[in-house]
Structure 1
Amino acid sequence: MIFLDAAATTPVRREVLEAMWPHLAGEFGNPSSHHSLGDAAAAALAGARSAAARALGCRPGEVTFTSGGTEADNLAVKGIALARRAADPGLDRVVISAVEHPAVEESARYLERSHGFAVDVVPVDAYGLVSEEALAAALRPETALVSIMYANNEVGTVQPIARLATLARASGIPFHTDAVQAAGWLPLDTAALGVDALSISGHKLGAPKGNGALFLRGRTPLEPLIHGGGQERGRRSGTENVAGAVALATALTLVREGQPKRAAHVAGLRDDFIRSVLAGVPGAVLTGHPSSRLPSVASFCFPGTSGESVLLELERQGVICSSGSACAAGSDEPSPVLVALGIEAAVAQTAVRFSFDATVTAAELAEAADAVRTAVGSVRALDPTLLGPN
């Protein structure tokens, strides 16, 4: 099997398992308990927080551990917007881009539906990029928060986050970025990015599913979504997942080491794969930005096919990939991200995403490119009606 769906999840790294194992077995204390077992758990949690903070270029107190990227996005979007409006009732708008992950978009729509916020959606160009001019046009005195993702999970386009964050902060508006896909491939120094909040998820980095974190810059107001005993500095109550926090911190530390060299290597393999697919499949269309994209993502539309049929044929040949976001599994609607890029709905339904982890090889991608050519040809041959009128 050639696994090319790393944007959905990644295998758990052995080093991560070894780091978290003691906290699943002998060191099982509650970090809020005042005895030796609890103290050991609290020390492990503090160590994980410090390690995560080093990877994010922030203070340990600015890291809140969550159950994953979705919770971190929800906490940032809802928590910051609600807290700011509580302080100033006139702050009743949130700004998002047209290509956000559902965790951000649905959080904004919840605020609209249940709390009377207005949602301003910034359009993107044909590559999925948000321009500084488009964001500036969306900012208003009533804007409580801007949330624009660092790198897109479907097409891989990387946004100019530092420049966009500068625009928002010049207007005194907090800026959040969903960095779930960017983590491991792009710099995560929150000071350099200039963001006020940043979300990450462990299972995209070689940690198990069910852990994540939110960076929240000091003094940024936040209304907690989960109330209780006041853990995580009151931002997220509930007994902490110590093993999960250790796993996330370990994974972050590992991917930080050698990140620029690893990213450049995989980007070269990605570019070779893109060239092979475009040369071998008539009519294939690369989606997303041709150069400002994640090293790990190559996404295409194959007009004259069904994307799901191509996926099934590729799996039969031993290549595992996806038709887009794993969080939209089961939907037969065209991807809102691709539609936002101006791609026709019928073409958007032919989309296939290939996403790599750092272990991918040139030989695997060469074999996968051959499989794509065969799979698309087979699907087109089986159902010529998909090609449309001559």
Structure 2
Amino acid sequence: MGKSSASSGRKRGRPAKIPAAIQQTLDVVSERKAPIIVSSHLAPAKTTAVYDSYWRFAAERQRIFYRRALGEPAPWTDNRVLATYKFTNAYRASDRVSQYLIRNVIYREDLPDTPDEVVFRILLFKLFNKIETWQLLERSVGPITFADYRFDHFDRILTKAMDESRRIYSAAYIMPPGSSAFGCKAKHQNHLKLLELMMSKALPAKLAEALTMQEGFELLRAFPTIGDFLAYQFVTDMNYSEVTDFSEMDFVVPGPGARDGLRKCFADTGGLSDAELIRLMADRQEEECARLGLEFPSLWGRRLQLIDCQNLFCEVDKYARVAHPDIAGWTGRTRIKQKFAPQAKPIEFWYPPKWGINDRIAAGAMPNEAFENSRPATLKCEAEDG
């Protein structure tokens, strides 16, 4: 696979002076139904009204996160759409499943921390991406380790759960069944075989030696049933651990939902690829929030990364179905299926130690000046899972 357009091609930074011909084109009134907002600082790209909603959504969703984390009573927002429907957090690592993965799967003092063991646990968890499935396996086999893994034992546990009509997969994204690649009747059997193949091909050691996120992505992408979307999600999860130390600003792969959000935000991409547009958002986050007069509360000083900006496009795609029903994406979806319902069990937020923000959280630090006058509280709340 060649270099992604997210990491090559256009030079980063502010655009050069706009040629007269391009400016003339930008000034032409579009015949699209959706209103076009000509933003010279983004030229030659043209944005719709959803583009500004992207930033307002990101800022308000992050404010909701902090209001709940600081123990403020509901309602946490005056935004009708955000108050009614379920959306993931602005930062991917703050969602419930990611938090569980980081705290209860990756960083476990009672489990081995070798690359083989850590990668095995991450893959096992992410193939199902469901907290309850991991907990079921732990209750049944005890501490989960690669050294003690047995296909027949895990298969028996998961088959029994399926026979009892229990869901063992998350609905967040669809895992290909894998029957054509591995020949097993049950979906979970094929995924266990995929996990075994990954381990037999020394994937943990190869990931540990990889120098870039794209290299790690390509290692995962080479396995049967793992497409671009899953490979990017998996390498991001791997990078929460100490096995790898990639920059989340080096590489991005837009998923289907993000592409739909991009189509709603940009009436004309100006020749930029989807990956380049996501990088544009990450690079310009402070400027765009300032332009709109928004105070964006970062994650205790951590800027939005490419993965977060990619996820936000997925969420603004959903948001626009209600907030901007006149602006259509590719899928034609017009409804948001899931309503918001707070989780009963609170979360103690904790992030990969290499990010350097856990000490600030423990000390009750506020995210930025916008929250300086808020009363410090135990930073717990019900994170949302996408």
TM over 0.5: no
Pick 1 or 2: higher relative contact order, CA cutoff 8 A, min separation 6. 2
Higher strand share: 1
TM-score by length of 1: 0.27
